Amino acid sequence: MSDRQTAVAARNPPSRGSARRRRKSSPWRRGWVIAVLAVLTAVPLMFHRYVPNSIGNLGSLLDTFLPWVGVAIPILAVSAVVRRSATAGVALLLPAAVWGLMFGHLLIPGKGGGAYDLRVLSQNVDADNPDPQKTAQELLAADADVVALEEITTADMKIYKAAFAKTYPYEVQRDTVALWSKYPVAQSKSVDVGFKWTRALRAEVNTPEGKVAVYVAHLASVRVGAGGFTSGQRNDTIKALGRQISDEKLNGVIVMGDFNGTANDRSLAPLTTGLRSAQGAAGYGFGFTWPAKFPMARIDHILVRGVTPTKAWVMKSTGSDHRPVVAELRI
């Protein structure tokens, strides 16, 4: 610096205000609001089990849509970049790590694999389905060995029976639920889950690799309204079906259907305890099935015990408001 520049600098020293502005512009001092929001995003992920069901079943509602809490992470990340905030970037590591530990395994490709003995399929075909004939043809294209359908009307049942007759010589129906099989069905019965009409059945399917018990169920619906998440009747049907399956004598058990709840929902524990999700064991992704046009939750399931899932996936929409779920199993 020249003598003249030194003299000018001495006459015009930096003001306190400009120094304060420089400190505020530091990447560690910007974005505190974003950082706080990042930490708050991690809270429902880490402590969702502590959210009570006593008020509007809020705990189960949060459980049902828990993966979607992660949507906040990329939104906050973009905000952190725009603000050039190092503090927000570090804070975002917390919800990102928690979400990854909870759901990252679902995004790992290559799970399962290998030979299978039985391909099974389940779908709620929708009582208001405008084109059940189209749905039937798309389900036939999946080439499953056992097909379970729920919410079938009397009129639509005739359509599915006619469409499946050549491919599936064995069929069991109980009111609004039904099962079709390429293999002989030794015996079948209705399963009482507390309704005036039958919404669940049990069938023994004689596969070439051995006999398996196949359950098809359509549990009670839930409602989300001003009073919260109403699921009392569904929870009663879960307990009733869970008791039946826990008493099952056959080693191989396959439970398929529309449970009106996700695997994260604590209320499904009486049913899911002791069973494996085919999607979780051998599928890729979250496997959302409902609503069909823009799936946000996996409420249609294939659960197993005593058999090994080798592959699982969700089909495209077939015209119902639910998407079909498919699994390949080794017995």
Closest to 256 in 3D by CA, of 233, 289, 232: 289
- Confidence at residue 129, expressed as pLDDT on a 0 to 100 scale: 97
Measured distance CA(242)–CA(66) in Å, rounded:
24
Q: Which two tokens stand for residue 60?
A: 């189960």
Class of domain 118-330: alpha beta
Angular region, 57: left φ>0, alpha ψ -120 to 50, beta rest: left
- Confidence at residue 224, expressed as pLDDT on a 0 to 100 scale: 61
Average pLDDT over residues 119-143: 98
Residues β-bridged to residue 212: 205
Strands of the chain (E only): list them. Answer: 118-124, 146-150, 170-174, 177-181, 185-190, 200-207, 210-218, 223-225, 228-230, 253-258, 276-277, 300-305, 308-314, 325-330
DSSP string for 47-62: HGGGS-STTTTHHHHH
Q: Which two tokens stand for residue 17?
A: 């205000």
Cβ-contact 39, 94 below 8 angstroms: yes
Residues β-bridged to residue 303: 255, 277
Q: Which two tokens stand for residue 316?
A: 């495209």
Half-sphere exposure of 182 (CA within 13 A, CB side): 13
- Confidence at residue 311, expressed as pLDDT on a 0 to 100 scale: 96
Q: Which two tokens stand for residue 321?
A: 């408001």
Average pLDDT over residues 321-330: 98
> What single-letter DSSP state applies at residue 208?
T
- Confidence at residue 9, expressed as pLDDT on a 0 to 100 scale: 52
- Confidence at residue 163, expressed as pLDDT on a 0 to 100 scale: 98
- Confidence at residue 245, expressed as pLDDT on a 0 to 100 scale: 95
Please give the model's pTM, rounded to 2 decimal places. Answer: 0.86
Measured distance CA(272)–CA(304) in Å, rounded:
9
- Confidence at residue 235, expressed as pLDDT on a 0 to 100 scale: 79
Which band of pLDDT confidence, cut at 50, 70 and 90, is reported for residue 310?
very high
- Mean pLDDT, the chain, as a whole number? 90
pLDDT tens sequence across 28-56: 888 999 999 999 999 999 999 999 877 77
pLDDT tens sequence across 183-199: 999 999 999 887 777 89
User: What is the residue extent of each domain of the chain?
Assistant: 3-107, 118-330
Average pLDDT over residues 133-148: 98
Length of the chain: 331
Angle made by CA atoms 255, 218, 166, in degrees to the nearest 5: 70
Measured distance CA(185)–CA(193) in Å, rounded:
22
- Confidence at residue 12, expressed as pLDDT on a 0 to 100 scale: 58
How many secondary structure helices (H) and strands (E) does the chain include?
Answer: 12, 14
Element (H or E) spanning 252, and its range?
none
Which band of pLDDT confidence, cut at 50, 70 and 90, is reported for residue 17?
low
- Confidence at residue 237, expressed as pLDDT on a 0 to 100 scale: 86
Angle made by CA atoms 196, 298, 66, in degrees to the nearest 5: 115
- Confidence at residue 75, expressed as pLDDT on a 0 to 100 scale: 97
Measured distance CA(315)–CA(203) in Å, rounded:
24
Q: Which two tokens stand for residue 311?
A: 């592959």
User: pLDDT at residue 89 above 60?
Assistant: yes
Question: What is the torsion angle, in degrees rounded to the nearest 10, for the CA atoms of residue 90, residue 94, residue 95 and residue 96?
Answer: 70
The proportion of the chain whose per-residue pLDDT surpasses 90, expressed as a percent, equals 73
Which band of pLDDT confidence, cut at 50, 70 and 90, is reported for residue 140?
very high
Cβ-contact 307, 271 below 8 angstroms: no
Query: Lowest mean pLDDT: which of 134-143, 224-233, 247-256, 315-324?
Result: 224-233
User: pLDDT at residue 123 above 90?
Assistant: yes
| Cβ density class 113-151: b for 16+ within 10 Å, e for less | eeebbbbbbbbbbbeebeebeebbebbbebebbbbbbbb
Cβ-contact 329, 118 below 8 angstroms: yes
- Confidence at residue 26, expressed as pLDDT on a 0 to 100 scale: 80
Q: C-alpha distances in angstroms, 138 versus 22, 285, 317? A: 64, 22, 9
Measured distance CA(177)–CA(257) in Å, rounded:
9
- Confidence at residue 28, expressed as pLDDT on a 0 to 100 scale: 84
Which band of pLDDT confidence, cut at 50, 70 and 90, is reported for residue 231?
low
pLDDT tens sequence across 234-243: 778 889 899 9
The proportion of the chain whose per-residue pLDDT surpasses 70, expressed as a percent, equals 89
Which band of pLDDT confidence, cut at 50, 70 and 90, is reported for residue 227?
low
